[in-house]
Amino acid sequence: MSNAYSIQVTSETFETDVLKKSQETPVLVDFYAEWCGPCKSLGPILERLADEYAGAFILAKVDSDAEQMLVAGMGVRSLPTVVLFKNGQPADHFMGALPEGEIRAMLDKHVERTEASPLERAAELVELGQYDEAIALYQLITADDPENYDVYLDMAQALLKKGDLESAEAIIERLPDAQKMDPRAKSILAGKAFQDLLAGAPDRATCESRVASNEKDSEARYFLAAHLMVSDDVEAAIDHLLTVVRTDRQYNEDAARLLLIQIFDRLGNEDPRARAGRKQLAALLMV
């Protein structure tokens, strides 16, 4: 198990990943074994805390069966044993599967947490796909600061990703004209045009299934691109339309190229996705 805040550690990596790393950031070392029942209940708690603390400490997992010499050298007598290292030295420890509240209390004695701002937290929730929670947080922010139009744009984007295009459009329509020129606003307002294009078209799942079973199904790929635009997945939409131009230029009277031009125009010349897409399209048209 390894991610941004959690790593697997061996005898060979212990000095670098625990002792040296703990000079900069506290490292919580979890000595566990697959056969250990309490380890299985403790592990998910530690992983969840590592994610919650978002880098304020690193969780280092040690498989005690595979690393018996390291376990013996650390004086571990029972499992699970958890040791917190700071500045290259053990700073605290516990044995057994403690309740989450007690583990949190121990961590808070040694770990300095940097609290994310509400706006940062909302962005994190969007990344996690927790759109309702993010939207509720954006609503709280705008209630305190009703003229923070940038947050309204972020909220509209979250609504779009959730699939609620109508609510996203309603937010954009209430913004001052200057904010409607923002690329985020343009992409949402463009969503209505793509939604109209999809009237009577196959649904997204059907398009995806058809493309997966037949890469040359230009109609399915074309409508899948429109579905992706409605969901604001612009890069994937452009890729699919470029594929249609490359493999079936005459599909529906050059519909893929024409739709690409609409997308580029709506994104604007300064958008890197539009610039890259235009270059790729130009290269295809020269072949």
Measured CA to CA in angstroms, residue 57 lies from 12, 31, 107, 150 at distances of 21, 16, 9, 32
| Burial of 237 (C-beta count, 10 Å sphere; 0-12/13-18/19+) | buried
Beta-carbon neighbour count of residue 5 at 10 Å?
A: 19
CA distances from 28 to 41, 65, 93, 205, 241 (A): 17, 19, 9, 43, 48
Distance from C-alpha of 283 to C-alpha of 73, rounded to nearest angstrom: 62
Amino acid, single-letter form, for residue 153: L
Structure tokens at 182: 């923002």
| Strands, sheet with 6-8, edge to edge from the N-terminal-most edge strand | 6-8, 58-63, 27-32, 81-86, 89-95
Q: Within 97-164, where are the H helices?
A: 100-110, 118-127, 131-144, 149-162
Pair of tokens at residue 69? 């010499």
Catalytic machinery residues: 36, 39
